[in-house]
Amino acid sequence: MRLGRQVPLMAGWVQPVAADWALNLPAPKSDIAARIYDIHTLILLICLGIFVVVFGVMFYALFKHRKSVGHQAQHFHEHTSVEVIWTVIPLLILVAMAWPATRAVLDQKDTANPDLSIKVTGYQWKWEYDYLQGGVKFISASSTPADQIANQAAKGAHYLLEVDEPMVVPVGKKVRILLTSHDVIHAWWVPELGVKQDAIPGFIRDTWFRANEIGTYRGQCAELCGRGHAFMPIVVVVKSEADYQAWLAAKQAGKQAKAVAAVAAAAKSFGPAELKARGEKVYAAHCVACHQADGKGVPGAFPALAGSRMVNGPAAAHIDRVLHGKDGSAMTAFQEQLDDADLAAVITWERMAWGNTGSPVQPADVKVLRK
């Protein structure tokens, strides 16, 4: 068993935490979330009422029927009509509770007539959003820096709830979410929109939401999925229809531009310093969660890159590993997520950081090994 780094607790004490003391569900931003909020309030009030009545009676007895105030025990031990009443009345209360809930269940499941569909795939430990109509697909990973998690830097306001590429949707439109997973069961959840669904590998399940207000809504993975379960947040940015279309167009153009740039970059040759600088950023975004900021990995779980034979040896094996991952392990293939320039940069960074003595790598070296 390996314990983490010991960091002085004092570093955390002076943390200006966003004090909240929130007592209830967040303010609802969709009709479903609003109905959930109301149903919860109803149940809570009913439970509170029953609690006050029942325990009012009990505390009265605890007080008045004590031996120490001289109360003698009365020997009754059944009363059929009372027992019938306190069986039937709870049953009726439950029926009353179930009625609004039933309506909401049917509506939550009604994915018919969506305005757009987005396929969401859960990965260990990030999300992929694929806009089926728009032809736009991208990874959305946590963008909270590792040094904030390690208590070496002050935590930002959206600590653990920020991503590099949020999901963007238009306001007031019914968005159908098709959920699946690449590896283990995850769950996609945005509290303010009142939507949660499990992402199951090999299966596709759908759910939906319609955001009522423009804004940014944050959620988290809601099914234990390994060491990164706490570190795969969800951010949904709701824009006006016009802004959404603009974003989509930009993304599509960006896809083109990225493809063009990738081709251009692939032909370029970069200096080692430039590669390392760029590679350090790519590493911080994509690799640090497992291989750690010091490159030492996690013994027994994620191999160390510092001092690694593969990283210090011939470049081809190292490039192949990053491009194609390792079957049967948690190492994913990065060939879809990163272009040749980024790949060359991060591989160079790994080969030259932490005292490693490997050689730099150019985008062309990466491109030739792509399959």
Q: What whole-number distance in Å separates Cα of residue 236 and Cα of residue 234?
A: 7
Least distance from other proteins to the Cβ atom of residue 207, Å: 8
Question: Quick one: 235 or 352, whose CB is closer to other proteins?
Answer: 235
- Which H or E element spans position 128? strand 126-131
Tokens of 240: 């006006």
Beta bridge partners of 211: 30
Least distance from other proteins to the Cβ atom of residue 41, Å: 10
Question: Quick one: 223 or 243, whose CB is closer to other proteins?
Answer: 223
Question: Quick one: 29 or 278, whose CB is closer to other proteins?
Answer: 29
Question: Quick one: 327 or 357, whose CB is closer to other proteins?
Answer: 327
Distances (CA, A) of 356 to 23, 153, 360: 51, 26, 11
Concatenating the DSSP letter of every residue in 250-274 gives HHHHHHHHHHHHHHHHHH----HHH
Least distance from other proteins to the Cβ atom of residue 312, Å: 23
Residue 151 contacts by C-beta under 8 Å, 6 or more apart in sequence?
A: 7, 11, 12
Least distance from other proteins to the Cβ atom of residue 247, Å: 20
Least distance from other proteins to the Cβ atom of residue 175, Å: 12
Least distance from other proteins to the Cβ atom of residue 267, Å: 23
Question: Quick one: 39 or 277, whose CB is closer to other proteins?
Answer: 39
Tokens of 113: 């007539």
Distances (CA, A) of 100 to 39, 41, 304: 7, 12, 55
Least distance from other proteins to the Cβ atom of residue 156, Å: 9
Alpha helix locations (H) across 109-191? 146-149
Question: Quick one: 75 or 309, whose CB is closer to other proteins?
Answer: 75
Q: What whole-number distance in Å separates Cα of residue 251 and Cα of residue 134?
A: 9
Query: Which one, of 192, 211, 208, lies nearest residue 28 by Cα?
Result: 192
Residue 114 contacts by C-beta under 8 Å, 6 or more apart in sequence?
A: 174, 175, 176, 208
Least distance from other proteins to the Cβ atom of residue 343, Å: 14
Question: Quick one: 22 or 242, whose CB is closer to other proteins?
Answer: 22
Distances (CA, A) of 211 to 46, 130, 186, 236: 29, 19, 23, 10
In single-letter form, the type of residue at position 315 comes to A
Question: Quick one: 179 or 343, whose CB is closer to other proteins?
Answer: 179
Least distance from other proteins to the Cβ atom of residue 370, Å: 9
Tokens of 279: 């590679």
Residue 30 and residue 210 in contact, taking contact as beta carbons nearer than 8 Å: yes
Least distance from other proteins to the Cβ atom of residue 25, Å: 5
* Pairs from 125-131 (Cβ < 8 Å, separation ≥ 24): 125/221, 125/225, 125/226, 125/227, 125/228, 125/229, 125/231, 125/232, 125/289, 126/232, 127/188, 127/232, 127/234, 128/182, 129/165, 129/167, 131/248
Question: Quick one: 15 or 359, whose CB is closer to other proteins?
Answer: 15
Question: Quick one: 90 or 313, whose CB is closer to other proteins?
Answer: 90
